Amino acid sequence: MLTETQDNEEIIQRVAALDIGKAELVCCVRVPGQGRSGRRMQEVTTYPTMTRSLLGMAERLAALGVSRVVMEVTSDYWKPVFYLLEAHGFDTWLVNAKDVKHLPGRPKTDKLDAVWLCKVAERQMIRPSFVPPPPIRMLRDLTRYRADLVAVRTAEKQRVEKLLEDAQIKLSVVASDIFGLSGRDMLAALVAGQRDPKVLAQMARRSMRAKIALLEEAFAGHFTDHHAFLLQRMLARVDAINVDIAALEAKIEEQMGPFVAAVEKLDEIPGINPAAAHVILAEIGIQMQRFPTAGHLVSWAKFAPGVKESAGKKKGKNATGHGNSYLARVLGNAAVAAGKTDTFLGERYRRIARRRGRKKAVVAIGRSLLVIIWHLLSQDDARFHDLGADFYTTRIDPERRKRGHIRQLEALGYTVTLQPAAA
C-alpha cells in the first residue's frame, strides 16, 4: 500500500559550513553559479579564530549573501564562533558530528570536512542541535558551575572522612553528617589541638547528646599534628566552596527573575523543588517550540528507549543512550524524591520498582516528569493536577481484572455477558 510522505528536497541556495579547531577554522561557502546550468560555486578559506578574523569572515559571508551557517560540535571551540555569527544575524546551526560522518574510504582533512558538511547542509540532510537563547545560556553557566562546585565540595568532604579513618577517628560511624553543627565543632577542636575524647564528645548538640558514650569511643584514636594540618586545609577548602556556592545561588535567583512563573509551575510537580526547577529550565529552556511534541523532548533528553531492529528482530537492550548529564542527574533525583510521596507519580514509581527494579523506575518517572514539564511550559494557563495515589486501584486495576476474568471464562468455553449490579 502506497502512503504519502512529505520530503523537503529544496536546496539552500547560499550556505556556509565551518570546520572549527582551537587556533583556526576552515570555512566552505557554496552559492549558485552563473547561468541556468544549476552548477554551484564554492569557496574554501581558512581563518584564524581570533575575533578580528572572525569579524572579517562574517563580513565576507554577508557579502556573499549566505543565509545559513552550519558547524559541528567541537569541544567548546564552537561557542565564540557561533555567538559572533548569531549576533550578526546569521541563521546559525550547530549539528552533531555523528550526523555528518564521512563515507568509509574517503580521505579526511579539515578542508574536505568543511566541503562535505556544506554539501550535506545545502541539501537539508541534517538537523540543528538545541542551543538555548542567551538568557538561558547564562543561567545554564551558573547552574552547571554550581553543580560542579557541589561535586568538588563532596569530594573534599570525602577526603576529610578518609583522613579521620587514617587517624582512627570513627566519627562518621556515630554521626550521620560529620559536617553538621556538632561535627564541625569537634573537627575545629581537633585542629586547635584538643585530643581528649571526653571533651570532644561533650561538644555534641541536641540528638547527638544521646550518643556521648559512643563518641568517646569514636575519638579514641591517633590524631596527630600531621592530621591536624591536613584537616585544617580541607576544612578551609570546604568553607571557601560554601561561600562560592552561596554567591552562585544568589546570582541564580537574580537571573530567574523573568522565569518566576515557570519555576512556580514546576515546583508544583512532586519531587521537583525550586533548585531542581532552576536546573531544568537552564537545560531545556522555557520555549517549547523547539520540541514539537513531548516525545521530542523525551527523545532529546535520552529518556526514551532506542530502537534497533534488523531482519525483523529487535536487538540490544533498548538502552536510552547518553544525554544531558546535568538534566539526567536532576531528573533522577526528582524521580527518587517523587517515589517517596503519596501521589500518582509516587505510586507509579513503586509499582515499576517492584516489577522491574529501581533503575527502570527512575527512567520511567523521569520520562513522565519531562512530559508533564513540556505540557506546563507549552501552555500559559496549564497547571499541574495530581491524579492521586489511588488512580491505579480505582480506574485501571478494575478494568484490567475484568478483562482478565472475561478472557479466562471465554477460554473455558463460556459466553460472558456483563450486567452492572443494582445500586
- Give 71-84 pLDDT, tens digit per residue: 988 788 899 999 99
| Span 88-123, pLDDT tens digits | 999 999 988 777 766 566 677 888 888 888 888 888
Q: Is 332 exposed, middle or buried (0-12, 13-18, 19+ CB in 10 A)?
A: middle
Average model confidence (pLDDT) for the chain? 88
Q: Give the integer Cα–Cα distance in Å for 303 and 368.
A: 9
pLDDT confidence of residue 138: 94
Cα–Cα distances (Å) from 19 to 83, 130, 324, in that order, read: 16, 19, 24
pLDDT tens profile 231-267: 999 999 999 999 999 999 999 999 998 999 999 999 9
Residues 341 and 273 occupy one common structural domain: yes
* Per-residue pLDDT at 397: 73
206: containing domain: 136-255
Q: How far apart are CA 196 and CA 203, in angstroms?
A: 12
Question: Residue 29: which CATH number?
Answer: 3.30.420.10
Q: What is the DSSP-derived secondary structure letter of residue 395?
A: I
- Decide which of 122, 152, 187 is a domain's last residue: 122
Out of 126-135, 263-272, 303-312, pick the least confident: 303-312
Using the predicted structure, report yes or no on whether residue 8 has a pLDDT greater than 70.
no
Condensed to tens digits (0 to 9), the pLDDT of residues 139-186 reads: 999 999 999 999 999 999 999 999 999 999 999 999 989 999 999 999
Q: Is residue 128 part of a domain?
A: no
Residues 102 and 161 in one domain: no
- Banded pLDDT at 352 (limits 50, 70, 90): very high
> Is residue 187 in some structural domain?
yes
Please tell me which residue, 418 or 363, carries the higher pLDDT value. 363
Q: Are residues 266 and 360 in the same domain?
A: yes
How far apart CA 201 and CA 196 sit, in angstroms, is 9
* pLDDT > 90: percent of the chain: 62
CB-based burial, 114-148: b 16+ in 10 Å, e otherwise: bbbbbbbbbeeebeeeebbeeebeebbebbeebbe
Give the Cα separation of 215 and 52 in Å (integer).
65
Is the domain of 116 the same as that of 47?
Answer: yes
Tell me the one-letter amino acid at 125.
M
Q: Is residue 131 part of a domain?
A: no
Residue 403 lies in a domain: no
Residues 6+ apart with CB under 8 A from 369: 269, 271, 272, 331, 334, 335, 338, 345
Do both 152 and 190 map to the same domain?
yes
Contact 19, 72 (CB under 8 A): yes
83 and 56 together in one domain: yes
Q: Which three cell numbers stand for residue 403?
A: 478483562
Domain for residue 327, yes or no?
yes
* In-domain check, residue 396: no
**Domain count within the chain:** 3
Cell of 198: 571526653
In terms of domains, do 266 and 251 share one?
no
Question: Is the residue at 268 inside a domain?
Answer: yes
Q: How many CB atoms lie within 10 A of CB 305?
A: 15
Q: What are the phi and psi torsion angles at 79 (to 5°)?
A: -60, -55
Residues 264 and 296 in one domain: yes
Last residue of a domain, one of 74, 90, 122: 122
Same domain, 67 and 167: no
So what's the pLDDT on residue 293? Answer: 92
pLDDT of residue 11: 79
CA distance 261 to 119: 43
Question: Is residue 347 domain-resident?
Answer: yes
* Domain CATH number, residue 238: 1.10.287
**Does 106 share its domain with 140?**
no
Clarify whether residues 112 and 217 are in a common domain.
no
The answer on 288 and 222 residing in a single domain is: no
Q: What is the pLDDT averaged over residues 22-45?
A: 84
Last residue of some domain: 89, 122, 155? 122
Quote the CA–CA distance of 226 and 342 in Å, as a whole number: 50
